[in-house]
Amino acid sequence: MKKVIITGGAGFIGSHLSEKYIKNGWKVTVIDNLSTGRKENIKELEKNKNFYFIYGDITDFDFLKQNIKDFDLIIHLAAAVGVKYIIENPIKSIITNVKGTENILEIANIDKTPVFIASTSEVYGKNTNIPLKEDDDRVVGSTNVSRWNYACSKALDEFLSLAYFREKKLPVVIGRFFNTCGPRQIGEYGMVVPKFIKQAMLGLPITIYGDGKQSRCFTHVEDVVNAVYALCEKKECYGNVFNIGSDIQVTITELATKIVTKLKSDSLIEYIPYNKVYGSNFEDMLVRQPLLDKIRKYIEFNPEFNIDYIIKDVIKFFES
């Protein structure tokens, strides 16, 4: 039986990915410090004899070296997540992302264990060359703008991962996630879909930061999980970076309107200037849309679930 270890496996994406591997006959070990992950996400998994949970921190090299041995695959999801969390915890975010990934790569390299590194569409920064292609230039703002520390730390993760692939021949594949959504995601760290749904269910104002004209491409977690699994199964994917997400744009105002309509909520939409939430030096992107040509050359990838299904699925989760 093959064995996979998933860092951040008690998180939103990690718990779904753990279920995927268990279902496909793997032994799954999760490492998580529960800073943003939750034991509730894996309570059903813990009933399975092929699932193991280890509490620990990816920045602790000795801990990782002791626990990551004899695995067929490492999936590295653990990271600082969410705009709100990043801005409020800049030092911890940078150390977690950079040091954590360095530790994982160093340990994986001991036995040349294949690694999937989770990255983000944030690395594109303010690039307006839409749709965004994997080898497009990065356009990031000033170091005085806290927003960009996350983009830069994840870009450094990518540089380091590709360096390990080229210099040390470590099998590495990188996936850039675009606004993954679905059951178990919470709005506490700034994720708009669960935040808006919770506000609408409680009859509270739907709080949109900015003018609501900014658009994003929302992707159901099951589509992301299926893509990660497929990419890790093909050796041809190693040494490559892939966009993983939907390419259908939805403005934030359209998202809020869909949620209010679906729930038949009395909530009103309220627009709040960025500076009242994040301070005077915050920057955002108007459009964030991936080009999916590359991933479709390597695996069969066609996101199955649209934004209406995502909204329905998250509502069902909150009502359960």
Q: What is the CATH number of the domain that holds 143?
A: 3.40.50.720
Confidence grade of residue 278 (pLDDT, cut at 50, 70, 90): confident
* 150 catalytic per annotation: yes
CA-based torsion, 192, 195, 199, 204: positive or negative: negative
Residue 269 falls within a domain, yes or no? no
Q: Give the range of the structural domain holding residue 164, as residue numbers without chain letter.
A: 3-178+221-246+289-304
Query: Cα–Cα distance between 208 and 274 in angstroms, integer?
Result: 9
- Mean pLDDT calculated for residue range 21-43: 96
Residue 65 falls within a domain, yes or no? yes
Contact 164, 103 (CB under 8 A): no
DSSP run (H or E) holding 230 = helix 221-233
What is the total count of domains within the chain? 1
Marked catalytic residue, from 150, 189, 238, 278: 150
Residue 295 falls within a domain, yes or no? yes
Confidence grade of residue 16 (pLDDT, cut at 50, 70, 90): very high
175-195: b or e for each residue (b if 16 or more CB lie within 10 Å)? bbbbbbbbbbbebebbbbbbb
Residue 170 falls within a domain, yes or no? yes
Residue 320 falls within a domain, yes or no? no
Residue 282 falls within a domain, yes or no? no
Rounded to 5°, angle at Cα 204 from 203 and 210 = 135
With a cut of 90, say whether residue 232 has pLDDT above it. yes
Residue 128 falls within a domain, yes or no? yes
> Tens of pLDDT along 153-186?
999 999 999 999 999 999 999 999 999 999 999 8
Contact 153, 125 (CB under 8 A): no
Residue 210 falls within a domain, yes or no? no
pTM of the model: 0.95
* 68: DSSP letter: -
| Among 283, 253, 311, 296, CA closest to 131 | 296
